[in-house]
Structure 1
Amino acid sequence: MRPDPDALAMFVQVVDSGTVTAAANRLGLAKSAVSKRIAQLEAQLATPLLHRAPRHVTPTESGALLYERARAVLAQLDLVADEVLARSGALQGPVRLAAPLSFGIRYLGPVIADFMRLYERIEVSLDLDDRRVDLMTGGYDLALRAGRLEDSELRARRLGTSQRALCCSADYAARHGLPDYLEALQGHSCLGYANASIHHLWRFRRTGERAGNEERSLTLRGRFVANSGEALMDAARAGLGLVVLPRFLVAEAVRDGSLRPVVIPGWEPVPDSLQLVYPPTPALPLKIRTLIEHLAERIREPFPWDAPFVSPSEWSAPAR
């Protein structure tokens, strides 16, 4: 008998995810349903397809062969379906997208709304969280990320370079002065981002004619750590210390004067790479490719939040 494409798709998902539980979560099915379908596929082909361990599964020799062939077959089926949908103009189905909380609130909502107006049969689930989600096991089709691409298994579409800014309140500057060289930061209260691997490690790069590729990292102290950029910005507004945050988050606060930029001659915070990342499937569904193109068209350089800051004269404060 010919294997059912749905059963093959489940098997590929189990191998990609590494566990039946993770595959079931991604597929939106009960773990028992996925296990039963894989067992039926093994019975149909009269051979074990998976080595099962308590917390991980790996394909057998036969399973590895089926996995490679099934991925290719499913990719071709997806392409055929995409061609038919493209001709009919009827893109449809669910898409799950993850993005940072602050960026999503400020910039992503209207872009997604426009996309859904264009494609009325696509259902979008937008998860906003500053924590970095696991695309492979979390059931996500796509994520927008700011920072370096750490997972080499993922594919990425780069949107551009997004700047970061060192800021504080005018009150903090008046009480404590401002650092005028890099090491002077060690004498200040520096607010830490808890989602970073080392929340008080700040990275700077040299600017100007001597820039080259020189970077410096400083481990700094501070009384406040948070896993939210919004909370860190509120703490900086309240005068609790210096903070390094993406400019898309602090640009409005600098414009209204509740925060002021801090410039250290010859140095600036290392910027982020803004990118869309997605699992390494053989052929992305057309609905995902279409969303990627839409996001890349609407979120592109020059980013509006990276416009130069205008510093009011009252921001000047003596260095200490």
Structure 2
Amino acid sequence: MRPDVDALATFVQVVDSGSVTAAAARLGLAKSVVSKRVTQLEAQLATPLLHRAPRHVSPTEAGALLAERARAVLAQLDTVADAVMAQSGALQGLLRLAAPLSFGSRQLGPLVAAFMAEYPRIEVSLDLDDRQVDLLGGGYDLALRIGRLADSALRARRLGLSRRALCCSPDYAARHGLPAVLDDLSGHSCLGYANSTVGHLWRFAPAGEAEGEPRSLILRGRLTANSGEALLDASIAGIGLVVLPTFLLHDALRRGALVRVEIPGWEPVPDVIQLVYPPTPALPLKTRRLLDYLAARIREPFAWDTSFQPGASTAG
């Protein structure tokens, strides 16, 4: 008998996700349905396809071969379906997109809305959370991430650098003065992006073309939070110094609520902005369209970095 396409697709998701539970979440199916499809596929092919553990599964030798061949077959089917939809203009379906909270609400939300207006039959589930989601296990089609890509199994398209800056309110600067060198930071209230109350880490690199090793400083302050917006508000209120991405800081700097603090020879280490997606042989057309749409509009030079060019408001 010829294996069912849905069963093959389900099996590939189980292998890629590493568990029946994760595959069920990604497919939007009950765990019992996923298990039944895999079991029926094993019976049909008369061979075990998975090594099963309480919380994890891995493919047998036969299962690995089937998953590899099935991915190619499913990719070809997706390509045919995409070609038909592209010709008819009927691009449709659900896209699940994840992004950091502050960047997503400030920069990504308007772009997603514009994309949906251009493709009225596309649905989008936008998940905004500063905690990094499991792209494969969570059933996401695409994610925007700021920072190092920890999962080497994912593919990524680099959009540019998320630059960071050291800032404080004019009131804080007047009351406490400003650091002249990096070691002076230990004597200041430094607001930290962290989940721990014992301290937080700020990383600085030699500025411009200067050579040298980066420095990491463990600092303490009156507030640590896992929300960039909360740290921004606290710094504007004069609670302390803050290092945040420029896309969060630029408006407050423009209107004078914050001033940039320059430490000669040093600057905060930037992060990388990138779009990440599953390592499938061929992305579905709807995912490729969203990927290309966002990449064409989130690119350097970023508008929010203009406040940090020479001549912008600084203190030091």
| TM-superposed deviation, 1:229 | 0.4
Distance 1:21 1:182, change over 3 A: same
Percent identity, aligned pairs only? 74
Q: Please give the TM-score of this superposition, normalised by the length of structure 2.
A: 0.95
| TM-superposed deviation, 1:237 | 1.4
- Count matched residues: 313
Q: Which residue in 2 is equivalent to 1:48?
A: 48
Conservation of the 8 A alpha-carbon contact between 1:162 and 1:303? no
Q: Please give the TM-score of this superposition, normalised by the length of structure 1.
A: 0.94
| 1:205-230 CA-partner distances (Å, limit 9, x unpaired) | 11145x13631111111121111000
Distance 1:300 1:311, change over 3 A: closer
| TM-superposed deviation, 1:162 | 2.0
Structure 1 position 161 matched with structure 2 position 161: yes
| TM-superposed deviation, 1:195 | 5.7
Alignment of 1:121-200 (within 5 A): 121-194=121-194, 200=200
Q: Distance in 1 between matches of 2:14 and 2:188?
A: 50
Alignment of 1:10-25 (within 5 A): 10-25=10-25
Q: Distance in 2 between matches of 1:291 and 1:240?
A: 40
Distance 1:298 1:208, change over 3 A: closer
Conservation of the 8 A alpha-carbon contact between 1:162 and 1:306? no
Structure 1 position 3 matched with structure 2 position 27: no
SS in structure 1 opposite 2:54? coil
| 1:136-183 CA-partner distances (Å, limit 9, x unpaired) | 111111111111212111100111112111111112111111001111
Q: Which residue in 2 is equivalent to 1:38?
A: 38
| TM-superposed deviation, 1:193 | 0.9
Conservation of the 8 A alpha-carbon contact between 1:193 and 1:229? yes
Q: Distance in 1 between matches of 2:257 and 2:207?
A: 26
Q: Distance in 1 between matches of 2:295 and 2:212?
A: 28
Alignment of 1:1-320 (within 5 A): 1-194=1-194, 200-209=200-209, 211-212=210-211, 214-309=213-308, 311=312, 316=315
Distance 1:20 1:182, change over 3 A: same
Conservation of the 8 A alpha-carbon contact between 1:170 and 1:259? yes
Spell out structure 1 runs of 4+ moving beyond 6 A: none
User: What RMSD, in angstroms, separates the aligned Cα atoms of the two structures?
Assistant: 1.6
Conservation of the 8 A alpha-carbon contact between 2:259 and 2:315? no
SS in structure 2 opposite 1:90? coil
| 1:183-216 CA-partner distances (Å, limit 9, x unpaired) | 11111111111269x961111111145x136311
Which blocks of at least 5 consecutive residues in structure 1 are unaligned? Answer: none
| 1:260-312 CA-partner distances (Å, limit 9, x unpaired) | 11111111111121110111111111111110110011111110001144555
Report the AA paired with residue 21 of structure 2: T
| TM-superposed deviation, 1:130 | 1.0
Conservation of the 8 A alpha-carbon contact between 1:130 and 1:195? no
Report the AA paired with residue 81 of structure 1: A
Which blocks of at least 5 consecutive residues in structure 2 are unaligned? Answer: none
